[in-house]
Amino acid sequence: MPLMASAKVSPEEAAKLGIEGTELTPMGAIRAGNADGSIPAWDGGIKTPPVGYTQGGWYIDPYADDKILFTITAQNHEQYKDRLSAGQIAMLKKYPDSYKLNVYPTRRSASYPKEIYENSIWNATNTEFCNPSLGKDREERCVKREVYRPGIFFPIPKTGGEAMWNHTYYWFGKYYTVTHYGFNAFADGTYAEFATRERWIVPAAMNPDEIPKGDVFTRNGGAAWCFSQETLAPPRNAGSIFGGCNYFETTDFDAYLYVPGQRRVRKAPEIGFYDSPSSNSDGLRTADSKYMGAMTGDVEWYTWTAERKEMFVPYNAYKMAQPGISMKDIVRPGHINSDLVRYELHRVWAIEGKIKPGFRHLSPHRVTYIDEDSWAGVASDMYDAQDNLWRVSEGYLLNYYDVPTVHHFADDHSDLINGRHASNAGWPNISGNPGDLINYHVMPDPDVQTPAGLRKYGMR
C-alpha cells in the first residue's frame, strides 16, 4: 500500500524490527519469503566472505554454481508483466533481439555490521525531520544529527519522502576510493570511453570521533556524505576534479570544481543539482539520476509516494565483476550485454515522484526502484514533459562482503528516444588491475573535499 502519514514510529511498531525472529529485518525489509516461495526468507545474508577471497582482490562469486531458471524476452514477457517495470517492458519491445532478463534463484545476500542493525532499530523511534521545518518545501529535507545514529534513518518509512531519504543516504560504508571506467554509447553500439576516480567520505556512516575535522564536515548540522570525482581520461578532460558535501540540514550538494585550463577552483552549484547534466555523460544522464535517483537541491521539487512490490531486478552482479571483461564485452546497441546481468525476484520500494506546481524538470515524472533489503537503487524510469517514458536505468548491486555492505558495481542509462546509453558508475575491473576496485579500508584524504585540497589533487 502507498505510504501516507509521517512520524517516528511507536515502540510497539519498532518492535517489529530485529536481527532475528521478528516480522521485519533491522533495515525494515519483510523477513519472510513470499507466498509461492520464489523469494526466500532473509536469514542474515552473506555472513562471511567466500573461501579464497582476500581483501583487495577480485570479488569471488558466491553463487557461481547457480543456473538460469528462465529467461524473459519480448516474446514471453506478457506472462511476467506484473513483476516487470514499465522501463523493462519498453526495453524488451524496443530491443526484442538483444535485451532479455536471465532470471536466477533469489539470494537475499544483503548484510551489514551488527552496529548498523542496532542503530537502525534505534533510529526507528528517534529519527524525525526537523520540526519546525527550515522553510517551505523543506519539510522532509532536514534531520538533526542528535536524533540519528549511523544506519537507516527511517527503517519503517511512513511517507515517500522518508523512503527517498533512506535511499539517498543508504548505508554503503564509511568511505571508499574506486576507479570507474565509463562509456557513452551511440545508437549503433560504438562508444566513447572515459575514466574517473571517485573518493567518498560518509560522515553519516561514522561515529562522531571518526568524522574528519574542519568546517566542510561540520557546518549545516554536519556533512551527511562527501563526494569527489577526478577525471582521468580522455586526455582532453583529464585533471578536472570536483568535491563537495551534502548536509543533514540541507541536501543541496555544496560543490567546488578545479579546472586545469584555468588553474583555479570555483564554486560549482550546477554539479549535482537536479537535472543539470551529469559529469562525463554527454548529456545522457542528469545529476540526480546517479544511483537510480536521489534527492538533491535545497528544496523538494517532487511529491513522492512509495509502495512495496515484487519485481525482477538486477542483483548479485558478481558475474560482471570478474577480471577479463573488456568494454567490447559490455556495450551493445541500446543497452549493455544482457548475458552479463543476473536478475532475481526481490521486493522493492517503488518510489514515484511527480513534479510540484511551480517547478520544472526534464523529467517531471519518475519512478525509482529500491531494494528493500539494502535501500540501494536497482532501476529507475524517467518520463518526459509529455509523460512519455524516456530514460530507463539499471543499477547492478553486489554485497561487498569485506565490509559488509550492498552497493553498485556498475550502472546503465538508456534513452528510449535516441537509442543511446551511458554508464558512469562502474566497471573497475576493465583495467585488469584489482587496485582499481573499490577500497573500503583506507579513508581518502579529507582535503580532496575542500577547495584548497582540489588545487593539490588537480593536474596542472
CA dist 333 and 440 (Å) reads: 34
Q: What angle do CA 205, 206, 212 make, to 5 degrees?
A: 125
Please, which pLDDT band fits residue 262 given cuts at 50, 70 and 90? confident
The Cβ of residue 354 has, within 10 Å, a number of other Cβ atoms equal to 15
Which residues, at least 6 apart from 318, have a Cβ–Cβ distance to it below 8 Å? 59, 60, 61, 62, 63, 64, 342, 398
Q: Is 460's pLDDT higher than 60?
A: no
pLDDT at 457: 78
The Cβ of residue 136 has, within 10 Å, a number of other Cβ atoms equal to 8
CA dist 404 and 155 (Å) reads: 19
pLDDT at 331: 98
Per cent of the chain over pLDDT 90 is: 92
Tens-digit pLDDT profile for residues 2-23: 554 456 999 999 999 999 999 9
Q: Bridge-partner residues for 399, per DSSP?
A: 406
CA dist 199 and 457 (Å) reads: 12
pLDDT at 259: 87
Cβ burial of 75 (10 Å; 0-12, 13-18, 19+) is exposed
Tell the residue number behind the cell numbers 554509447, with chain if given. Answer: 185
How confident is the model over 55-75, as a mean pLDDT?
98
Tens-digit pLDDT profile for residues 95-127: 999 999 999 999 999 999 999 999 999 999 999
CA dist 292 and 396 (Å) reads: 10
Q: Bridge-partner residues for 183, per DSSP?
A: 193, 423
Please choose, from the candidates 126, 92, 55, the residue with its C-alpha nearest in 3D space to the C-alpha of residue 343.
92
Please, which pLDDT band fits residue 455 given cuts at 50, 70 and 90? confident
At residue 124, the 3 state secondary structure works out as helix
- What rounded mean pLDDT belongs to the chain? 95
Domains of the chain and any CATH numbers: 1-47+68-459 (2.50.20.10)
User: How does strand 331-332 pair with strand 302-314?
Assistant: unpaired
At residue 87, the 3 state secondary structure works out as helix
pLDDT at 7: 67
Q: What angle do CA 382, 386, 390 make, to 5 degrees?
A: 30
The cell numbers describing 25, all together, are 529485518
pLDDT at 425: 84
Q: What angle do CA 266, 271, 273 make, to 5 degrees?
A: 135
